């Protein structure tokens, strides 16, 4: 990996990052209530999206890169026209912190997970679909299967719950983690679900049978986030003050990156495989070139 480029992104912690599909723009969300767009050609700021009244906790992009979804501690979900950089609509389930948002790969569903354990689903046009009481505890991750038929939810507690879409019917409960589950990711073919537990274990579940194919210990504890590279051959994990890159085939650690701040926020691989980005509690964004 090439030496990191570091630049000031936000006043306060960087909470999430995502690259646009063509890898020309990096989008960041911060505790300063702002969403910012950065050019990957020179890492200069292109624009700031303002509208949230509290920290922006989570980002999601539609597959075509046209629609950006943001979830905030102000209890709202906002949908933005990214090319025009304009707010299209604001959605709200109830007055609770929105901790995580996602968009289905087919571009059909917008999903928000909130404190108090609720998952709200809307269409991309903002129409109500279903509200799911997923847990009695805060949600930290939601993921939709590639075909849009299945929703996975997790957060505080050891359980991962699976729901049918659009009905919201409960299908399965997966156990094996401890304390909390911080990240969920379906593989692109829909055959597996990755989950990351706070206890420091990555689990790989077969979606056909919901059996745990593998359980990989990656740290003692305190692992907070997992993201997959576009080809799913690498996984990035955030720990206190550092990020680890693992090869998902062998589950061998290939590199450890020092961040310099205790809390590490968003992680993102660019779709073209050229960049990896991480955000820190110091408001700075660090970007590495991938060989």
Q: Band of the pLDDT at 236, cuts 50, 70, 90?
A: very high
Residue 91 pLDDT more than 80? yes
Q: What angle do CA 147, 100, 106 make, to 5 degrees?
A: 20
Q: Band of the pLDDT at 73, cuts 50, 70, 90?
A: very high
Q: What angle do CA 142, 139, 154 make, to 5 degrees?
A: 55
Residue 188's closest CA among 154, 151, 232? Answer: 232
- Confirm whether pTM is higher than 0.75: yes
- pLDDT of 221 reads 66
Judge contact between 14 and 266, C-beta under 8 A.
yes
Average pLDDT over residues 115-133: 96
Residue 105 pLDDT more than 80? yes
Q: What angle do CA 181, 54, 286 make, to 5 degrees?
A: 65
Encode pLDDT of 178-204 as tens digits. 889 999 999 999 999 999 998 889 999
For residue 15, what are its two tokens? 């909470």
Q: Is the model more confident about 230 or about 221?
A: 230
Within 10 angstroms of residue 123's Cβ, the number of other Cβ atoms is: 13
Share of the chain above pLDDT 70, in %: 99
Average pLDDT score, the chain: 94
- Beta carbons within 8 Å of 71's beta carbon, 6+ residues apart: 56, 57, 58, 59, 77, 98, 99, 100, 101, 112
Per DSSP, the chain holds a count of helices (H) and strands (E) of: 0, 28
Average pLDDT over residues 110-125: 96
Residue 263 pLDDT more than 90? no
Average pLDDT over residues 230-255: 92
Strand order of the sheet with strand 25-30? 14-19, 25-30, 35-39, 45-49
Q: What angle do CA 41, 254, 226 make, to 5 degrees?
A: 70
Q: Band of the pLDDT at 1, cuts 50, 70, 90?
A: confident
């Amino acid at each position: 990996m090439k030496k990191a480029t570091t630049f000031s992104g936000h006043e306060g912690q960087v909470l999430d990052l995502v690259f646009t599909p063509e890898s020309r723009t990096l989008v960041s969300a911060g505790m300063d209530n702002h969403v910012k767009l950065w050019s990957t050609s020179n890492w200069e700021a292109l624009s700031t999206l303002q509208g949230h009244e509290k920290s922006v906790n989570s980002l999601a992009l539609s597959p075509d890169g046209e629609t950006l979804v943001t979830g905030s501690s102000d209890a709202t979900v906002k949908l933005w026209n990214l090319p025009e950089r304009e707010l299209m609509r604001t959605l709200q389930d109830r007055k609770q912190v929105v901790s995580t948002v996602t968009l289905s790969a087919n571009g059909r569903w917008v999903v928000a997970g909130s404190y108090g354990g609720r998952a709200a689903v809307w269409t991309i046009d903002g129409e109500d679909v279903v509200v799911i009481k997923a847990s009695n505890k805060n949600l930290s991750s939601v993921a939709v299967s590639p075909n849009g038929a299945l929703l996975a939810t997790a957060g505080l507690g050891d359980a991962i719950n699976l729901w049918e879409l659009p009905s919201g019917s409960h299908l399965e409960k997966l156990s094996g983690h401890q304390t909390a589950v911080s990240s969920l990711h379906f593989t692109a073919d829909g055959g597996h679900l990755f989950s990351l537990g706070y206890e420091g274990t990555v689990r790989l579940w077969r979606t056909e049978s919901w059996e745990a194919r593998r359980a990989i210990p990656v740290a003692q504890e305190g692992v907070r986030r997992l993201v997959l590279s576009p080809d799913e051959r690498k996984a990035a994990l955030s720990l206190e003050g550092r990020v680890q890159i693992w090869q998902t085939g062998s589950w061998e650690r290939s590199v450890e990156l020092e961040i310099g701040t205790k809390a590490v926020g968003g992680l993102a691989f660019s779709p073209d495989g050229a960049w990896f980005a991480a955000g820190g509690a110091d408001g700075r964004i660090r970007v590495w070139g991938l060989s």
